[in-house]
Chains A and B, each alone.
Chain A
Amino acid sequence: MSSTPIDAAARATPKRIARKIRGLSDRAIAWIFVAPTIFLLLAINIFPLIWTIQLSFTNYKANRIGREVKNIGLRNYERILTDSDIWLNMQATAHFLFWTITLQVIIGFFLAWLIHRNFKGNAFWTTVIVLPMMLSPAVVGNFWKFLYQPQIGLFNYIVGFFTGKDPSSFEMLGSVQLAPWSIVIVDTWMWTPFVMLICLAGLRSIPDYIYEAAEIDRASKFRQFWTITVPMVLPFLMLAVLFRGIENFKMFDLVVQLTGGGPGSTTELTSINLKREAFEKWRTGYASAYAIILFVTVFGLASIYVKALNKVKER
């Protein structure tokens, strides 16, 4: 007899209960196994979500506990959708999403394509390249802030070194023109490996014989790339874009640490704006409506995208 804690527990179980457990049907076991997970998700995800929906129809403010809470119908939603400032936040988010995904796809795919040549030591270098994406985004934002310092930062120094510009003549985080790009650069630095890894899996899934057949048909290397490599990697690439899209739509920690949404509100992505409304201005009802609008947007876009992805996969 082995003596793992589980065995000990099994031996310690009174006969009567033990018989009961042993007699459980598979169906009962299935429910006992699944129930705690579902319960936890209901308590910490679904219940809060329903509560958010309910709050979104009120003028509740979480910092004033005694105040009367009024039901104001759809007024919060109305106010958000007609607020021009929120459209600016949406634009900032769109800019961030578009450029991070574009850059990550191009660089990530190219890197994967290079690594797929299987040069000596490629496994080691792949691991090195992957490191940034596993780090804490908030901490990454924090130390990039140091690299971006105008007078003392390494980033400015290197840019200055190669372009001849004075390193204190530009501020990545302080200027309205450059700040949106500073967050794109850091996100690209951090997440390009993610796209790369997924593309690499795609490239490795293409069987050799397809290229061999193409070679017999005398298709040029260029043609092989566009008619074999790209279409076969596309479903993988689209999956990578889906993950990055959802993650970057929710983006909060990295950017909050890096720019705090500034200067002005040039890098105030929707999540940061939402945090201000909810936890600085304490407009709980209004922020709840905002949260619901964001959630519906992500969920809607993701569902449409998944449909498209499945179509590509079927082809």
Chain B
Amino acid sequence: MSAHSINAASPRAKWIAGALVIAYALITMVPLAWIVLTGFKSPADAISYPPKVIFEPTLEGYVNLFTTRTRQTQEFLSANPPENWADEIVRQYDMVIVGPSKFGERFLNSVIIGFGSTFLSVFLGTLAAYAFSRFKIPLADDLLFFILSTRMMPPIAVAIPIFLMYRNLGLSDTHLGMILLYTAVNISLAVWLLKGFIDEIPREYEEAALIDGFTRFQAFYKVVLPQAATGIASTAIFCLIFAWNEYAFAVLLTTASAQTAPPFIPTIIGVGGLDWPAIAAGVTIFLLPVMIFTILLRKHLLRGITFGAVRK
């Protein structure tokens, strides 16, 4: 490294660049910040004109998101005092909480299907990637390209026969069906990414282990797997984010028992139209895990989004 590089930007250029980038970042955050704020507004504040930046925060949106409510007569309301803080919020509209909403179930479906398909795609993907990385497989390049090309199909195009197939096999609207489907979609990403990570582990490590009397399997899980742990973890997060975010298959192939959160959130209806604070609350809860994962992933982000084509 030279002490003085002619390419280093001057302090003024840096300052201007920084100011512009920060301005862009702040503008780009406005929609997200707005939706988080809306989750804490009352329905009236959410649709007021001009839009309110300062308002009295309330958990109404969150209460509405997680509960179902009915209107009650004055006599009933005065005879039964509110049981808890959530009930109290609902009482101002002469309503009482009668039970949980479907959001919890849908969210849980997202978790089950997301983790299930992630586990399966990373498990199968690691095995396949190891084989592609270490063994001579006839037509390896063609197979790898075939694996990638499955990702180019528009989801709706594959959805027609999968819909028919699942109907015949009884897999429509089941967790298993969705897990298998998302695994099939994610496996191309898993194989390509993991092959890149495993390629980077020097072969000498395994060869030394093999000479020491390890079998291939032992060399694989005692030497390669620990070395590939970071790669496996970041691949898993990518698969999880994809399954978490997926909408097209979910909306076409699930209706109730295996429906995930993305098709459900937009359908939350309040009194007299869409309940925007409740929707905003649902969006916030749904997006939060992805934001946290993105921050954890930031070093491997580029690699993940380009299927391993760009590594730095």
Contacts and interface: CB of A to CB of B under 8 A. Distances in A.
A152 interface: yes
Interface stretch (A76-84, A128-136, A170-178): A128-136
Interface in A182-201: 189, 194, 197-198, 200-201
Q: Which 5 A-B pairs have the closest CB atoms?
A: A291-B157, A138-B247, A119-B18, A136-B245, A44-B184
**Best-surrounded residue of B21, B137, B152, B309 (most CB of chain A within 10 A):** B21
A3 interface: no
A117 B14 contact: yes
B31 A37 contact: no
B161 A239 contact: no
A159 interface: no
Interface of B: 5-9, 13-15, 17-18, 20-22, 24-25, 28-32, 34-35, 38, 46-51, 124-125, 127-128, 130-132, 135-137, 143, 146-147, 149-150, 152-165, 180-181, 183-184, 187-188, 191, 215-217, 221, 241, 244-248, 251-252, 262-263, 265-266, 276, 279-280, 283, 286-287, 290-291, 293-295, 298, 301-302, 305-306, 309-310, 312
Nearest to B125: A37
Contact of A143 (B31, B135, B180, B295): B31
Contact of A131 (B8, B181, B291): B291
A147 B34 contact: yes
5 contacts: A201-B302, A201-B310, A271-B154, A274-B154, A279-B163
B31 A41 contact: no
A132 B28 contact: yes
A135 B127 contact: no
Contact of B24 (A46, A111, A143): A111
B32 to A, nearest CB: 7
B245 A135 contact: yes
Contact of A132 (B17, B32, B125, B241): B32
Nearest to A158: B30
A125 B6 CA distance: 25
Nearest to A45: B150
Contacts of A121: 18
B152 A146 contact: no
Contacts of A208: 5, 7
A122 B310 CA distance: 20
B17 A125 contact: no
Contact of B290 (A24, A30, A36, A134): A134
B217 to A, nearest CB: 7
Contacts of B291: 131, 134-135
B18 to A, nearest CB: 4
Interface stretch (A67-75, A94-102, A250-258): A250-258
Given A22-B215, A134-B245, 9 more contacts: A34-B132, A136-B262, A143-B31, A201-B302, A212-B5, A243-B305, A271-B248, A275-B156, A288-B161
Nearest to A36: B124
Nearest to B293: A134
Contacts of B49: 151-152, 157, 167
A103 B216 CA distance: 51
B21 A114 contact: yes
A120 interface: yes
A62 B162 CA distance: 12
**Best-surrounded residue of A117, A144, A149, A275 (most CB of chain B within 10 A):** A117
A33 B129 CA distance: 8
Nearest to B6: A215
Contacts of B164: 51, 62, 284
Given A45-B184, A136-B286, A204 B312 contact: yes
A144 B31 contact: yes
A279 B155 CA distance: 13
A275 to B, nearest CB: 5
A147 B283 CA distance: 14
B57 to A, nearest CB: 18
Interface residues of A, number: 104
A91 interface: no
A137 interface: yes
B301 A41 contact: no
A201 B305 CA distance: 13
B298 A146 contact: no
Nearest to B267: A142
A231 interface: no
A64 interface: no
A44 B182 CA distance: 10
Contact of A26 (B17, B216, B287): B216
A26 B130 CA distance: 12
B165 A143 contact: no
Interface in A276-294: 278-279, 284, 287-288, 291-292, 294
A211 interface: yes
A127 B295 contact: yes
A129 B24 contact: yes
A37 B150 CA distance: 12
A193 B293 CA distance: 16
**Best-surrounded residue of A24, A29, A197 (most CB of chain B within 10 A):** A29
B22 A125 contact: yes
A198 B5 contact: no
A243 B38 CA distance: 33
B166 to A, nearest CB: 10
A312 interface: no
A106 to B, nearest CB: 13
B287 A135 contact: yes
A27 to B, nearest CB: 7
